[in-house]
Structures are given as C-alpha cells and as structure tokens.
Structure 1
C-alpha cells in the first residue's frame, strides 16, 4: 500500500525563487525581532569571532506550517493529563523504579548514580514531599501500510520528564507562521486553496509558566524571613538560552499576586552560590552573585541540565545534585521523577499482554477499566526489552538480523538527541557492545508517518523535500510524593519539530531538526 498524502493539494505551495527569497528576508528579521533565536553554533560563527557571546541567530524553521492531522493533534493533546498523572504515580513507586535500576544499572552507570543520590537522601530523610514536573510527550503520526482501515493515529516516541525544551520557541514559531499567513502567503502568484491555513493557537509559554507558578505558590512562606525565588539550573555556555528566557519572562508576568524572582544558575556553580540551611527543614539558600549579601530561599528548582552524563564530569557535579535533592526546594524534576522518564519505564508500560486475562503493567498505575487507560494504551507502539527474558531474546534476534533490524531503533536510557541507533547500524553496534550491557537498551518499532514535504530555512540556506514531523505535547503537574494527591495537572501547549526524511535524529539544538507548527488538516 502506498501512503497517502495529508493534503489534496500540492504542499508546500509552489513559490518561485523571488518569492522564496522574500520569505527568507521576512523570516530572518521576524525571528530576530521576536526572539525565535539561539546562540550561533561554532559551525556558523567561530568561538573566536564572538568571544563575548553577544550574537544570536535565527532558529532553523520551516517556511510553511506542516500539514498535521486534526484527529491526531486532538488525540495527543487530549491524553496529556492522563500522562501527567501516570508519570507522577510512577515516580512514587520506589519498588518499581528500583527494579528499573536493577535491570539497566549494570550497563548504565548514569542511571545507577542517580539512584545512589536518591538512596543517600532517603537514608537522611526527605524534607520536601512536593514534586513538580514539566513534561513533554513526543509523538509521530502512524499509518499502518498493511491496514488501510486503521486510520491515522499518534504513537508515542518518548516521554520526557526533565529539561523538556522548546516551549518558549514553539509559541514564537506559531506566531511566525500566523504572521506569514496574514501578510505573505495570500500574495503568492499561484495562491489558492492550498495556501489556506488552519493554525491552532499555542500557549506553551504561558502553560509552562502557569505550572511553575503553581509549584511556587505551593511552597510555604519562608520561616527564615527571606524572599522566595525560582532557580533555572542551566548548562555552561547554553546556546538555547532564548527558549528558556521566554518561560522566565512569562513567569515574571504571570503571577496574580506579586512578582516572582527568577535567577539563572549554572549547574557548575551550584555549590558556590547555594547552601543548605542547618535546620530541620533544610531550606536551600541562594546568594546573588552580583550582591552576595542578598539571600533568597529557593522555592523551585527548574532543571534545564543534568539529564545526561555530560553534565556530571566529576564527583563535584554529583555532590551538587545530592546537595539540591536533599534540600527543601521543590525540584523539577526530583531524581525519582527523572528516573521515571527512563526508556525502560516506557518499554514496560507499553509491553503487550501475553495473557489476555492477566493485568497489564500499565494497570499497576491506571485502572484498566478506565478511559484514561484506553487513551494511553492507544498511543503505545511496539517496544521490546533487550534482556534475557523470552521477549528480550526474541528482540535480540530482530535486532541482529540484517533485514528485520531495518524496522527498528535501539534506544539507551537518555534524553536529548543523538543517542539512538537506527536500522542497519544496530547489529554492528550491538556486536561492539558487551552483551551484559544490552539490557540497558530498548528496541522500538519505527513509526511510519505519511509523507509530508516542506522547505526548511537553516543558517540562511533553504532545504526542500520530504520531511518527518514530531509532535510534542507539554504538561505541568504538581503532586504530593507521600500522599499521592495531585495539586495541579494541566496540558500546557505543543511543539512541532521537523527534520528531513533522510535524517534519523530530530534534535533542533543538536542541529538535526527545525522548529515548525501545525497546519491542521
């Protein structure tokens, strides 16, 4: 069966060279004027040419919003609150997470070290019951080539529980395409029905800020008589700074009661700029670097770093993570919430039932007779373990076979782009990896999207052809880790990332993908 197109007309609209260049000029100016930007990569501007780090450049972006099925968009947004609740419950199940760590820890030192941080804090005693998640569930549209009657559905690529990025830039991308639809698209020489746009509003910036405000307000009044604040914990030399700034600025405006102080703290300076109070509550105290005598009590730590081994180059970095985890600040995420985002968790939750009468692994957290269970289950794709179980042995055969491996992607327990192994690269990769480490990976069946074409503007150059779109839906959730009570649970906007259909990775900041928005069809 040949996959069908999402639009009845040619897409993107036929534009000549003059019209393309007109769009390029408009987009370059609009993106810089509206903060749809990143710090330039070294491949574009050498470090020596910008020693003070003053330059910014347009984010890679599509010239047109990509066609995306309305039914799939609604499906993904509609299930987000159920996903928020699911992962809040996973983070509370220490026995389940302990099993996950045992399964993958021998082959994944990073996961093992995160668990050690939890164990150290648990031995001392946690002082903060509240947890906070800014989540993002990523999907692709799936079209089963063997079943035309199945229709289009979204299937989950992964669930992110830490540093769920691009919420700030996604709102700006939707504004860009709305601006172009109002001011540029109507005047093409061959303008017609195919230039009409159905562009959904996107309030991801406001949604993420509202979740952060809910966490901030849940933190009690300072017993130390200090002003409370929010800390954005960031990487040194962060290029994606403007994405984070949009959320920061929205948070500063969002409070209906009073201003919320927000400060950026490089992870490498954690132990220099913060201390844990010597009180039973173990409040986290932040010293303003420009005025060290000015102290704040940290209510919320929003982590935009710490999601991979590269953020922990030495023992000081792990000491810093422990230092934060043992404090009274509400963490986004806590170590347990970060571990809940491991790919192994996704694999177990999506595991097909071998015995129809037996309960699913998902029903450990969500009742199987509920609508939430059905909605979640509908988004799962086939994911297999790579362990010594019967299912794992079958997956190993699929992964090592030169033909069957073409239908799969091999994933480690990692966030961020550039970590996965695809198709024909899987067998040689596994043969170089000690077999004892195989169980720290999962094998996911590739999702088959319908064909889409678009034009990408990247570093001033146009790339036209087939693309693959990945929809991310944000969620914000605040809950009590001890009682399980959920204090805030909302869907918080969307992100569309697009890459050329010959690319296997989709990270925008990593240089693979670009920002996009939905033209609902």
Structure 2
C-alpha cells in the first residue's frame, strides 16, 4: 500500500499539523457550517458557527499521467455534453424509457415541454461542469476512468482551490520541519474558481450584448442569481465563486436566493423577451435599485427530488425556465447529466449493438483519449444488454464487481456489490430500468490521514479526481469553452460513498508522482 504520510510521524508532529491546518482553514475560508451532530440548532440558533472542512493532512499521491489525461480531455467533454444537450430528440428517447418509473425525470421533462409549447426566448445555454474520475489499475498499468459527468451544481470549486493552497503552504512551511522532512512536493494549484467564474462572466457579457435596449430606454441593472438550498452547509464553497464573479470590472452584482423563495422574489415580464426580474427582499429607494434583470441563473439547488416537495417548487422551475435569463443549467442540460446518457455513451458495442458515439463525437478533438476514460456501463432494461446486466446484478457472486446507480446527482444514492440483489428485490422489476449497472473501478491501494471535525482518521483511502469545465453554446456554435482546475475528494477505503457535504469524504489535493 502506497502512503502519502511520512513513515515516522510522531504524536507531537501530528498535533502540530492539526493545529496548523485548523488555523489556516479558518483564516482562508476552507470551511463549512457544522453538522447537527457537532452543533445543534439549540447550540447555534443564529447559524453563526463554522468549522474546518474535512481535509487530509497531506496531499495524496496521484499519477501524473492520469492527472494530465483527465485535464487534456475536459474541453472535449464540455463540447460533447453541449452537443447532447442540444439534441432534444436523443434526450426525449431516453426520457421516454424512464418517465414511467422515475417521477423526477418525468417532472423535469414536463416543464421543458410546457416551455417549448409557448416558445423558448433564450437559445444560449451555460454549463459549469465537473467530470469525475478514479485511477483504474489493470495489469500494472494505470489510467483514469470516468465515474460520472456533473451538469448541475458542480460543487467544491471554491474549497478545492483553497485545499490546494493549504497543502502548498504546508509543503513550504511545515512538511520540511518534520523528522522525515519533505523538501519539495509537486502540488499543482487549482484554478477552479477562476475557471468557473469566467464561464459565468462570459454568459453575463453575452446576455448584456444581445439584450441592450435602444438609447433612451429605461433599463434595470443586470445581475447573476445563485439559486440555493435552504440551510446550505456548504455555503463558503459557493461564496468563493460568488466573490470571484463580483471582482469583474465592471462589477457584476450577484445575489443568492433560496429555491423555496423564487416565486416570492422573482417575476417574469410578459412579452416577447420574458425578462426575469429579481426584487430585493427589502425595500430600497432611489438611487439604489430594488429591481434587477437577471442575466444568468446559476443553480446550486434543484438537482434532486428533495428540492421539489410541492407544486410551487415545480412552478418556480418553470418560471425560470421560460424566462430569458441564461440558465446554468437548462432542463435539457440537466437531463444530459442522467446516468442513462453516460451508460448509452459507454456501453460496450459488442454488448449493446450499434454505438451512439458517432452521433456526438465526430469532429471532437482528442476523441481516442476521451473514449479511453469510459468504463463499462450497462442498462438495466429489457434490451439484450439490459438482460445481461440483470443476470450480473442479481447473481450473488457476479454483483461483487458492480455498483447500481439511479438517475441522480449528489452522494448517498448508489447501491454497491452484495447489497444490489436484495435492493432489486425490494423494488418492482418495472423500476429496474431507471438504474444503470457500472463496473467498479479498482484504484491502487493508498493511505493518508483525514482530519474531520477536529479528529484524525488514518488508514486506507480511495480518491476521486474532478476536473472542472465551462461552456457557453447554442445549437449553432460554442461561444466559450474552457477546462481547468481540479477537485480531489478522498474517503476511507471502507466507505461506499464519497460525498463531502454528505459526510462521507473529505477535501484533498494531488501530489503528482511519476
């Protein structure tokens, strides 16, 4: 097992590093709101407390060639998913397979069809993407294999950048002082915040350019609207991006609005354009404006059924979708992130028959490298490939090599290995088709120390690399396409899930090794 920790780290050195990490995290916004197990509402009724984000004491070793492979294909992935999002016919076919067994997918599609019937007023789409990978070891060779592609609420751009800065700081100041001192570590910076902010800024500028009214017309100031979840614990991650966008010259106003309050504080101006108007929750008098025209809507909510507990929530999504603001993402782009899409792209041709690859990848740069990141994924429907997958999923031995995934973003939704057969027995067989079966990726063994809620956890780890990308497009062309920055999430090797906000994983950064 390869360790990222010095072999003779003493208790005194551990305590010193823990204090250094906690102080740096507090001073630099590497933080989250505490979970109820740490600070209940009785303890912190005003929501004033913050704690360090769970983080490794050391950057984890990561193969340089795998890191470079993942970075090199991000712009191709951006354009690939822009093309998929623009192909309504393709998405419609997949949705039709899922609508009867997945109410959430069906609900999103109904909103799209309702807006389509009256006519979309905005042909531009913005994607703030993250492509997630794990290192796969096969016959002593290492490659990155894609775990999933995120098209909505691609989180941790802010905290990932700070984590890389933390480990770079420790490499310069603290690691050389250890008994087994390290003089140099190759820990790349993560420019994730800058990359994501440039995507939002590109969309904002394009909206302003395309919608400037004739001279003499009274115009409201434009803004960017972050749609958030109520009680968001991962708020500082979002704030880092918000503050970066507001550094633009001229400044771009950014406001945060809980998804549950969209109908209360926004409205659509009926007419050919259908501008989305955001009204400040508090009253303001001239010369300070109280109303803004929303140029860009950035969703950090709305990605799962829990965000739509009432019909009013669906009405809120419809209100934004029909407006002229550039959405990140549109409903079609969100649906492009379905696991079913990933499965269709990656299903081996000898199992699934004719491949859909050519429909989308023709003309993309670096196609062979991109396809090299695909791992084997199978449908769970009644097609030949699906029937073969069902045999594997229900077999007590064969299922050990697989994970079952629903069409969901966010951690905590997957079913692993031996739990798959019993789970499938617990749901109607007619619902099996809403899942995909994915071969487990087998990373090389590794070790690190995780600092979580002030306590150390040491042992085997598994890491997942995320590469960020931004894309602004319409059906005719791509106006902005950029990849860069990274996230490394690490979890104990006994944990099945890796979500940091969900309490499973932690923040990490890469220590590149040859």
Smaller-chain TM-score bracket: over 0.9
Residues 1:363 and 2:353 are matched in the alignment? no
Aligned-partner SS, 1:173:
helix
How far 1:371 sits from its partner (Å)? 4.7
Residues 1:209 and 2:205 are matched in the alignment? no
Aligned equivalent of 1:22: 16
Aligned equivalent of 1:261: 253
How far 1:11 sits from its partner (Å)? 3.7
Shifted more, 337-346 versus 221-230: the winner is 221-230
Q: Which runs of 5+ in 2 are unaligned?
A: none
Aligned equivalent of 1:325: 321
**For 2:162, which of 164, 167, 172 is the aligned residue?**
172
Residues 1:185 and 2:175 are matched in the alignment? yes
CA distance in 2, matches of 1:103, 1:157: 22
Residues 1:283 and 2:283 are matched in the alignment? no
Aligned-partner SS, 1:205:
helix
CA distance in 2, matches of 1:390, 1:67: 41
**For 1:233, which of 199, 202, 227 is the aligned residue?**
227
CA distance in 2, matches of 1:130, 1:62: 40
**For 2:463, which of 445, 448, 469 is the aligned residue?**
469
CA distance in 1, matches of 2:112, 2:343: 23
Aligned equivalent of 1:198: 186
Residues 1:163 and 2:158 are matched in the alignment? no
1:106-125 → structure 2 map (5 Å cutoff): 106-125=100-119
Aligned-partner SS, 2:500:
coil
1:66-100 Cα shifts (integer Å, max 9, x gaps): 00000000000000000000000000111110111
Residues 1:307 and 2:295 are matched in the alignment? no
Aligned-partner SS, 1:76:
helix
**For 1:395, which of 386, 389, 395 is the aligned residue?**
389
How far 1:373 sits from its partner (Å)? 2.2
Q: Structure 1's 112 and 231: CA in aligned 2 closer, same or farther, altered over 3 A? A: same
Aligned-partner SS, 2:490:
strand
Provide TM-score, normalisation by structure 1: 0.94
Provide TM-score, normalisation by structure 2: 0.96
1:338-393 Cα shifts (integer Å, max 9, x gaps): 0000000000011211299x8631211111x8653212210000100000011101
Residues 1:65 and 2:59 are matched in the alignment? yes
1:43-54 → structure 2 map (5 Å cutoff): 43-54=37-48
CA distance in 2, matches of 1:303, 1:515: 22
CA distance in 1, matches of 2:258, 2:25: 26
Indicate the RMSD between aligned Cα atoms, in angstroms: 1.5
Aligned-partner SS, 1:463:
strand
CA distance in 2, matches of 1:252, 1:498: 31
1:228-252 Cα shifts (integer Å, max 9, x gaps): 0000000001100000000000111
Residues 1:490 and 2:485 are matched in the alignment? no
Aligned equivalent of 1:437: 431
CA distance in 2, matches of 1:297, 1:78: 37
Aligned-partner SS, 1:384:
strand
* 8 Å Cα contact 1:12-1:64 kept in structure 2: no
1:121-148 Cα shifts (integer Å, max 9, x gaps): 000000000000000000000001xx23
CA distance in 2, matches of 1:104, 1:18: 56
Aligned equivalent of 1:339: 335
CA distance in 2, matches of 1:38, 1:66: 22
Residues 1:519 and 2:511 are matched in the alignment? yes
1:92-111 → structure 2 map (5 Å cutoff): 92-111=86-105
CA distance in 1, matches of 2:72, 2:2: 21
* 8 Å Cα contact 2:133-2:148 kept in structure 1: yes
CA distance in 1, matches of 2:355, 2:8: 49
Aligned residue pair count: 503
* 8 Å Cα contact 1:362-1:373 kept in structure 2: no
Q: Structure 1's 312 and 370: CA in aligned 2 closer, same or farther, altered over 3 A? A: closer
Q: Which runs of 5+ in 1 are unaligned?
A: none
1:481-508 Cα shifts (integer Å, max 9, x gaps): x42x100000031000000000000000
Runs of 4+ in 1 over 6 A off after TM superposition: none
